[in-house]
Amino acid sequence: MHTTGSENTASKMPGLLLHKAMAYDLGVWILTFGREGAMRRKILAHARLQAGEAVLDVGCGTGSLAIEAKRQVGSAGTVCGTDGSSEMIARAAKKARKSGFEIEYESAPAQALPFADGCFDAVLNTLMFHHLPRLSREQCAREMRRVVRPGGRVLVVDFAQSTRKEPIDFLDHLHRHGGVDPDEIVAHLEGAGLKIAESGNVGFMGLRYVLAEAPAAA
């Protein structure tokens, strides 16, 4: 289904890589006031996951969302996660083993996913689009379109672009590269050949989502 990715490839791609995996998890816990699980479930509610589906989490970080996705697709489903940081992948794999779930993780850039065409029913991209420059966002959108099956879904979740000029709270400091205008996300997904199904508020800490669908097979 895939070829092996490498962090060497990822390091050559433009965009911000986060390497301090334990600090990242602590930051998320503080940011969500210990309600990270609730945030993940809110996000995945918009992905419309079904038992037995194949799911890819692009920019999976330390793997918390992938674990929740695996819970939802069950033993008949498969979940893969990619991230450009080997430190994030290592922690994600450790968390998966501890949870008892079988999840496949690869160190790979979002702009060059190490999978064959049409492998997944659903592709997730959460809280990482703002780490990519504009051209890389276009490349990532095209890659997500490529690996999703006809009729499959692509879910992008991120912070809406802030209008503030200076960071004023912990959220802004943690995500100092800002958010992404939801209209820009829509434009990238449509430009990649996906059809927007719905968009709106996640219902948790001001996050916005865009759900798109790949055209059904002729």
User: What tens digit of pLDDT does each residue of 86-107 get?
Assistant: 999 999 999 999 999 999 999 9
DSSP H or E segment with residue 147: helix 134-147
Phi, psi of 102 (to 5 degrees): -95, 110
* Alpha-carbon span 212 to 196, nearest angstrom: 4
DSSP H or E segment with residue 127: none
Q: Tell me the whole-structure pTM to 2 decimals.
A: 0.81
Lookup result for tokens 């200076």: 166
Q: In which residue ranges of the chain is pLDDT below 70?
A: 1-35, 37, 161-178, 218
CATH 3.40.1050.10 fits 7-213, yes or no: no
Q: Mean pLDDT of all residues in the chain?
A: 83
